[in-house]
Amino acid sequence: MLEMSSSNTLIQAMVPDELRGRVMAVYSMMFMGMAPFGALMAGALADRVGAAVTVALGAIACVGGAILFGMRLPNLRVEARQLILAQASAGGEPSQGMTTRVVD
């Protein structure tokens, strides 16, 4: 749940206002629409090699993905921060935490 809400918030903060609906539609389609294909592939693999091996392979893939993501996270943070700041300075609505202070 944390990943889903974080990625949703980050995508909406980085995308320009005029493209936000389209990008979120593609994101939702990819996120929810690919699950049946993954289930089909996992079922076919489980039929061939067994459920225990399929679950183990899925776990190995998840750990590998987490390690890869962890190694790339510092660069992704910098890029995401730059995109959010560029969107805010280009006239987009600032995201939470990026409020401007009016000085009298």
Q: What is the mean pLDDT of residues 67-74?
A: 90
pTM of the model: 0.60
Task: Tell me which of 37-46, 53-62, 84-93 is least confident.
Answer: 84-93
What total number of domains does the chain contain? 2
Domain span at residue 22? 1-33
Q: Which two tokens stand for residue 77?
A: 């943070």
27 with 40, same domain: the answer is no
21 with 3, same domain: the answer is yes
71 with 44, same domain: the answer is yes
pLDDT of residue 102: 46
pLDDT at 49 over 60: yes
Structure-model confidence comparison of residues 57 and 8, the more confident one? 57
Query: Which residues, other chains included, contact 27 with Cβ-Cβ below 8 Å and sequence gap of 6+?
Result: 8, 11
Task: Tell me which of 30-44, 69-83, 85-99 is least confident.
Answer: 85-99
Position 98 in a domain: no
24 with 40, same domain: the answer is no
Output the average pLDDT for the chain.
83
22 with 55, same domain: the answer is no
Three-state SS letters, the chain: CHHHHHHHHHHHHHCCHHHHHHHHHHHHHHHHHCHHHHHHHHHHHHHHHCHHHHHHHHHHHHHHHHHHHHHHHHHHHHHHHHHHHHHHHCCCCCCCCCCCCCCC
pLDDT of residue 18: 87
> CA 82 to CA 10: how far, in whole Å?
12
26 with 58, same domain: the answer is no
pLDDT of residue 47: 96
